Structure 1
């Protein structure tokens, strides 16, 4: 089963008023769609994870007519769950209508970032995935960040390593580079991945950095 890691970039007219907060206000640091129910023909229900000033976020929710109701649950000082129901409109269809098709599954979370960017994972067969991308409105720029075989276990913790970074880490673990005391050297890792020691060392440094940052982000959310 193939998956695509996508970055979608929306023009201002297609950015949801709440997600626009990420651009316009320093009060909201993170806005992540965790789950959604689309069974109703006129309204959708979503669960978001929000980091930042929840009072500013709540005030923005109240100002959007299409949001019917919402409930906020505090996790810690900066993190909150926001459970809301909103009326579906043409903007929603423009954003995600093409991805709602037979043979395609959008795998949450969807991370809404500054500058109208949303990052998400989509899985399915080649042709439905191709058609889903082709069906996106011309105003939405899309970039495929990664393509691979889907593994649910990977998405529990995914630091977004390149293939070479992953190969270097795997080789380092297999040959004992991370054992204590260390049982292998960078040169041993380099031999296993057929690279120069300096290249292997760079792969390991970048992979370790990405993993540590991803782990801290995961701990922060948890």
Structure 2
């Protein structure tokens, strides 16, 4: 997928709702900052909580009881303080991890302002998780849809707050198949197992070669080609 800057109106014109060079399904990453009256209570608590910089809404149910899975980049205590801003909370369960805390939440309502919910309900786009709330007050979300529908969604959001377009790219329903050969995959897996990618590095190319039963030069070449294939695939997807 090829990313396009939002200023490239010759390729993608959001205000006119058309793609000049290439029509079809698009993915757009939006960043929105709402006025205070439209800020979700959880987001308001996050901005006030110095120990949490972002919260990611990972999954949500289409039901009225608003079952959601949230992740915060803070510890359990900080995450509990953020979640305490939700008046509609019925129950919650916290699962601490090394890099943050998961929160499984049940609410009797989503608590988003009616104006925001109306825009979402009237849109003809799909939201890709996560929806990310940042401590600077902004919200980042990625949507998929036909160009005209995305343009209409952009216009509707712009009436509610300050909207910027972080990224535009074509939507693909599946990723390209892996370019790794079986030997390259084996080399990468072995490199991981011997500590080649640890910091500080515990293993060497020679260790990979010994495990694979090949020459050191061969192991080094397999690793380099495998790394190149993985990075190329990653850049194309993003």
TM-score, normalised with respect to structure 2: 0.57
Paired residues, number: 159
2:149 aligned residue (104, 128, 139): 128
SS at match of 1:39: coil
The yes-or-no answer on 1:32 pairing with 2:56 is: yes
Gaps of 5+ in 2: 1-24, 176-219, 225-230
Distance 1:30 1:73, change over 3 A: same
* Paired position in structure 1 for 2:20: none
Distance of 2:85 and 2:38 partners within structure 1:
17
Any runs of at least 4 consecutive aligned residues in structure 1 with deviations exceeding 4 A, and if so which?
A: none
TM-score, normalised with respect to structure 1: 0.60
- TM superposition shift of 1:57: 2.5
The yes-or-no answer on 1:10 pairing with 2:34 is: yes
* Paired position in structure 1 for 2:193: none
* Paired position in structure 1 for 2:163: 142
Distance of 1:82 and 1:152 partners within structure 2:
29
- TM superposition shift of 1:75: 2.1
Distance of 1:116 and 1:80 partners within structure 2:
20
Q: How does 1:1-222 map to 2 (within 5 A)?
A: 1-40=25-64, 43-62=65-84, 64-76=86-98, 78-88=99-109, 91-101=112-122, 103-136=124-157, 138-151=159-172
What is the CA RMSD across the aligned residues, in angstroms? Answer: 3.0
> Structure 1, residues 177-196: CA drift from partner, whole Å, max 9, x if none?
xx96xx9xxxxxxxxxxxxx
- TM superposition shift of 1:113: 0.9
Indicate the structure (1 or 2) with the bigger Cα radius of gyration: 2
